[in-house]
Amino acid sequence: MNVIGQTNNEEDAFSSDDDMTLQEISQDLRRQGKLNLNVSRVLYVKGKNNRHKWSGEKPVRRRTQHRNIIMHLSGNKGEAKSITKPIEGWALFLNDEILNKFAYHTNKEIEKQRKKYKGFQEEEDGEENIASSSLPSFVKPVSLVELKALIGLYYLAGVFKMNDINTKDLFDKFTGVMLFRATMSRCRFEFLTNCLRFYDRDTREESRATDRSAPIREVFDHIVKKCDKYYTPTNYCTIDE
């Protein structure tokens, strides 16, 4: 195959579309009557944006430098090697230990929020007396199982690309998703979403004075620690935004 015509400087390169192959370049120049050199004698051909080079010769194989040799295996490690289901992998990062902390902080917020509802009274000695029969059922404390169900509904909303749909439509009897209604009521879903907390809100001002990420610091550090424990990235790992 021939490429490139007469030129005063052998290193000069012609412009071409970056997606053109050498064969296409050769045919294009042949039509213009500019071919008289063999491909093997051409140093290289530059693309139109001068970022890509097309060579007429096979690259020379060289010994890999020591600093470029990967000395460790990438991929899952530890307990992560034995997982067989997606939920098992998820549980390694958000285990019951951290989820129980979420439930604890969420229940503290629930205690504050439920005071706004009719049926909650405070006695003179400061002890709370809750008439459960007159309180709405959706203001009760959350359990670990129900918290996992709530997180599952968040995932489900993402799967169905319904993150921007209001909760009334999500739980609608005719146009909503049946799994939402089967898991909990719309009022319960909205109440838990409003009360969901990942940290002690009572120390918010003090914590934010030294760490602006205080509301998510505990869960963030927890997941980073688990990532280091269960996964080894390759040397070519790229982190997107």
Task: Label residue 119 left, alpha or beta by phi (over 0 means left) and psi (-120 to 50 means alpha).
Answer: left
Nearest to 111 by CA among 191, 165, 13, 33: 191
Q: Decide: 52 and 16 in contact? Cβ < 8 Å.
A: no
φ and ψ at residue 170, rounded to 5 degrees = -65, -35
Please give the model's pTM, rounded to 2 decimal places: 0.62
Domain definitions of the chain by residue range: 1-61, 76-232
Residue 7: predicted pLDDT:
43
pLDDT (average), residues 17-23: 59
Q: Give the model confidence (pLDDT) of 43-79 as tens digits.
A: 677 777 777 777 777 777 777 777 766 667 788 888 9
pLDDT (average), residues 20-26: 66
Residue 182: predicted pLDDT:
94
Q: Give the model confidence (pLDDT) of 89-114 as tens digits.
A: 999 999 999 999 999 999 999 999 88
Instruction: Calculate ∠ Cα 102-241-85, nearest 5°.
Output: 55
In terms of pLDDT, which residue wins out, 3 or 133?
133
